[in-house]
């Protein structure tokens, strides 16, 4: 059955440079530099990427960074904790906006 998401499309990522090669080059250069070992290790960056991938719910990124985390030596316990960090921030972001709700409600209420 056709679907918008095909796992094989991940291997075609670089084809986005077809009609804007210079912009693609800049993006992939930047992307490579971001994930290079720096103040954070490649392993730490892969775990952050995995958490963000789940936050933006990008299946390509989840596929790529699950593999990257495993290849960087992370295990499922660490990867699951990274997801909970993302989940906690998402949940927290929802709930902290409740302060706005309360302020507005208090202003409008007798």
**By the criterion CB under 8 A, which residues form the site for other proteins?**
41-43, 67, 70-73, 75-77
The residue (of 40 and 86) whose beta carbon lies closer to other proteins is 40
In the complex, minimum distance from the CB of residue 43 to other proteins, in angstroms, rounded to a whole number: 6
| CB of residue 71 to other proteins, shortest distance in Å | 5
Q: Which residues, 6+ apart, have CB-to-CB distance to 60 below 8 Å?
A: 5, 9, 10, 13
- The distance of closest approach from Cβ of residue 35 to other proteins in the complex, given in angstroms and rounded to an integer, is 13
Instruction: Return the number of other C-beta atoms located less than 10 Å from residue 78's C-beta.
Output: 13
Which of residues 15 and 41 has its CB atom nearest to other proteins in the complex?
41
Nearest distance from residue 13's CB to other proteins, in Å? 14
Nearer residue to other proteins within complex by CB, 45 or 54: 45
- Taking the least distance from each CB to other proteins, the nearer of 19 and 77 is 77
Q: Residue 64 in contact with residue 10, Cβ under 8 Å?
A: yes
């Amino acid at each position: 059955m056709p679907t918008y998401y095909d796992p094989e499309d991940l291997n075609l990522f670089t084809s986005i440079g077809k009609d804007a090669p210079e912009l693609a080059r800049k993006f992939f250069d930047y992307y490579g530099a971001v994930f290079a070992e720096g103040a954070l290790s490649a392993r730490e960056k892969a775990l952050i990427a995995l958490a963000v991938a789940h936050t933006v719910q990008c299946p390509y990124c989840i596929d790529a960074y699950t593999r990257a985390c495993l290849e960087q030596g992370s295990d499922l316990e660490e990867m699951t904790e990274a997801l909970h960090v993302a989940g906690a921030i998402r949940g927290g972001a929802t709930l902290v906006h409740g302060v706005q709700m309360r302020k507005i409600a208090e202003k409008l209420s007798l």
